[in-house]
Structure 1
Amino acid sequence: MVIFPIVIVISLILYVYYKVAIIRSDDLLQQAFLNSKARIFLGTFISFFGINQYLFYQTRFSLYVTIVFVFLGAIQMYGGFKRVVHYRNELKSRKQT
């Protein structure tokens, strides 16, 4: 399956992009918003990396590792989504005032 390596590379590139954007930003709220976006792509990277490794090896051990990776990636994505929504609302309320 060629789609998993593509998603892995794109999510890793976007993770690094948002981490570099954090360094460039001076606003703390904007930095928190960018960090939450980076967490989403880190979770995507971890999850798809685990799935890809299981499809490559297909052993019982790789299944256990995949379950752990998907679980940790889902936690990162869920936390990132919650923070993106929160900080997006904070940025909108700041722009309105």
Structure 2
Amino acid sequence: MVIFPIIIIISAVFYIYYKVAILKEKNTLTQKYFNGRARSSLGAFLIAFSINQYSLYLTQLSLFIGLVIFALGLMQLIRGFKEARHYQKEWRRLHPN
């Protein structure tokens, strides 16, 4: 199961990238867009981490903790995608080509 550690590393890198990009950006709308993208990266990280931990230990306790972390990650992922999509549409509305 080498796929989950790869997803964990990639999503952690994207999370850090978007959080640093928020600090560099002056426009509030773009900051909120980057925050939505960072939130979805955090959600992907939590989901991959919970699946990876359960696949390593295979105990009832790791299943329970993994389900809690999975649910939190799923909520972060869904909210992040919704925020990013909303602020992307808003930016396109304010900056037509």
1:84 partner letter: A
For 1:48 and 1:7, locate their aligned partners in 2 and report how far apart those are by CA, in whole Å: 7
Per-residue CA shift, 1:21-79, capped at 9, x if unaligned? 00000000000000000000000001110110000000000000110011000000000
**Unpaired segments of 5 or more residues in structure 1?**
none
In the other structure, the counterpart of 2:19 is: 19
Over 4 Å off, 4+ runs: none
How high is the TM-score relative to the length of structure 2? 0.98
DSSP-derived class of the 1:96 partner: coil
Which whole-Å CA distance do the structure 2 matches of 1:78 and 1:34 have between them?
A: 15
Query: What is the Cα-based RMSD across aligned positions, in Å?
Result: 1.0
TM-score calculated relative to the size of structure 1: 0.98
Amino acid in the other structure paired with 1:21: A
- 1-side partners of 2:15 and 2:85: how far apart? 18
Q: Secondary structure at the match of 1:26?
A: coil
- After TM superposition, the structure 1 = structure 2 runs for residues 61-76 of structure 1, keeping only pairs within 5 Å, are 61-76=61-76
The equivalent of 1:95 in structure 2 is: 95
Residue segments in structure 2 that go unaligned for 5+ positions in a row: none
Letter matched to residue 12 of structure 2: L
Q: How many residues align?
A: 97
Given residue 29 of structure 2, which amino acid in structure 1 is its aligned partner?
Answer: L
Query: Percent sequence identity over matched residues?
Result: 44
Shift of 1:85: 1.1
